[in-house]
Amino acid sequence: MTKRLLLTSLLALTAGGAMADEIRVLNWQGYGTDLDWATEAFTEATGHSVVHEYFTSEQEMLTKLRTNPGAYDVVLINAAFTRQAKDEGLIGPIDTSGMKNFDTVSESFKEGELVIDGDVYGVPWTWGLTSFAINTNAFEDAPDTIQVFWDPAHEGRVSIRDDALEAVQFGALATGQDVNEITDLDVVEAKLAELMPQIRTFWSSENDWNQFMAAGELDVATYWSGSAARSADMGLPVQFVVPKEGAVAWLDGLSVPDSSTKKEAAVAFIDWMIDPEFYVKWDAEGAPASANAAAAEALPDDSFNKQVLGDPEVVMRIQFQDPVDDATREKYLALWQGLKARQ
């Protein structure tokens, strides 16, 4: 057997002796799993090839899982949706016993919504904050309060994401309420109604946000921590802010659809994605924070995620997002659509 044939044969074998598979990953576009250098290295190491399909909202993700059984092998699911996906039979438990990197995942993340009745339905992968970022050209000093969005000095140069849940939780923070236990929705609605005249535009994607900021059209806009790191890395004049009112924290996990026929390859890919070596390289390109304690510890001291999300004072101000039931989501959606209609 030639060396080339031997190499081909070796690459065709994965853990457990299974032949190489093509796995299909469902995720946000540009969110780590589709980095060319990472998927190419995974393929070289295991023989498995990786194909991606994308969604633009969690609801779209769930719909794709419901209507395309067997089409996907790995799916990115926000922890607030993991239980729903499990209860609908869309994802199954993951055997982590053969994963070399699972033991270094932070124990705190293994105790949340991704582990249900002792079974892992989502491997904790990344986490971050929904807060806001400023155009540093518009401020001498970064504001320390969410109330900057209502400052008349920034009228027509403000933006928030066109998402009902984010908007309502943003309003809850601005009115001093717990984002998971909003006791006065009327106050939130009134606060958001006061914000509408300030809005230049609503954004829906990271690309939208970057284009508006690059054009100098915005002074301040809600944003995600990992996205802010990427935008700054691109050279945009942005600074991420966690105000005194706090921010909403989220956790994303990598799950395996119950209908997948390539579960071993899927788990191997997830293990690759939580590897500290992969994460440190991704962090330099603008990653969210890692749920892997070893990966977080390996970051250089000047890393955005180590400086901002590793600050104990910041951690004290964040509220992790709980699952939101369908009835509450519908209520928030009606509120948000009503506000936009009256703008």
Q: Can you read off the two tokens belonging to residue 65?
A: 């899982």
94 and 132 assigned to the same domain? no
Looking at residue 7, its pLDDT comes to 41
Q: Angle, nearest 10°, between helix axes 326-341 and 164-174?
A: 80
Residue 233 region by backbone torsions, left for phi larger than 0, else alpha for psi between -120 and 50, else beta: alpha
Residue 1 lies in a domain: no
161 and 191 assigned to the same domain? yes
**Average pLDDT of the chain to the nearest whole number:** 91
Q: Can you read off the two tokens belonging to residue 203?
A: 């954004």
151 and 78 assigned to the same domain? no
Q: Can you read off the two tokens belonging to residue 81?
A: 């949706």
Residue 194 lies in a domain: yes
Which pLDDT band, with edges at 50, 70 and 90, does 2 fall under?
very low
Q: Can you read off the two tokens belonging to residue 55?
A: 């969604």
| Residue 20 CB-density burial (10 A; 0-12 exposed, 13-18 middle, 19+ buried) | middle
Query: What is the distance between the alpha carbons of residues 93 and 96, in angstroms, rounded to a whole number?
Result: 9
Domain membership of residue 77 as a residue range: 19-127+250-315
CB of 291 closer than 8 Å to CB of 106: yes
Residue 7 lies in a domain: no
Looking at residue 9, its pLDDT comes to 40
Asked whether residue 242 carries a pLDDT value surpassing 90, the answer given is yes
Please state, for a pLDDT cut of 70, what percent of the chain lies above it: 95
> Number of C-alpha atoms within 13 angstroms, CB side, residue 289?
25
165 and 121 assigned to the same domain? no
pLDDT tens-digit readout, 4-15? 433 444 444 444
260 and 332 assigned to the same domain? no
Asked whether residue 213 carries a pLDDT value surpassing 50, the answer given is yes
92 and 239 assigned to the same domain? no
More confident residue, 25 or 324: 25
267 and 227 assigned to the same domain? no
CB of 286 closer than 8 Å to CB of 226: yes
Query: Closest Cα partner for 280 from 257, 262, 303?
Result: 303
Query: What is the distance between the alpha carbons of residues 29 and 201, in angstroms, rounded to a whole number?
Result: 22
Query: What is the distance between the alpha carbons of residues 81 and 27, in angstroms, rounded to a whole number?
Result: 14
140 and 196 assigned to the same domain? yes
Which pLDDT band, with edges at 50, 70 and 90, does 272 fall under?
very high
pLDDT tens-digit readout, 38-90? 999 999 999 999 999 999 888 899 999 999 999 999 999 999 999 999 999 99
Backbone φ and ψ for 158, nearest 5 degrees, come out as -125, 150
CB of 174 closer than 8 Å to CB of 125: no
Please state, for a pLDDT cut of 90, what percent of the chain lies above it: 77
64 and 94 assigned to the same domain? yes
pLDDT tens-digit readout, 121-163? 999 999 999 999 999 999 999 999 999 999 999 999 999 999 9
Looking at residue 159, its pLDDT comes to 98
Residue 8 lies in a domain: no
Q: For the whole model, what pTM was predicted?
A: 0.80
Looking at residue 286, its pLDDT comes to 83
CB of 247 closer than 8 Å to CB of 170: no
Quote the number of domains for the chain.
Answer: 2
Looking at residue 12, its pLDDT comes to 42
Asked whether residue 18 carries a pLDDT value surpassing 90, the answer given is no
CB of 91 closer than 8 Å to CB of 77: yes
For residue 46, give the CATH number of its domain: 3.40.190.10
Looking at residue 316, its pLDDT comes to 83
CB of 222 closer than 8 Å to CB of 160: yes
pLDDT tens-digit readout, 304-342? 888 877 777 877 888 988 888 889 999 999 999 999 998
Asked whether residue 275 carries a pLDDT value surpassing 50, the answer given is yes
Which pLDDT band, with edges at 50, 70 and 90, does 3 fall under?
very low
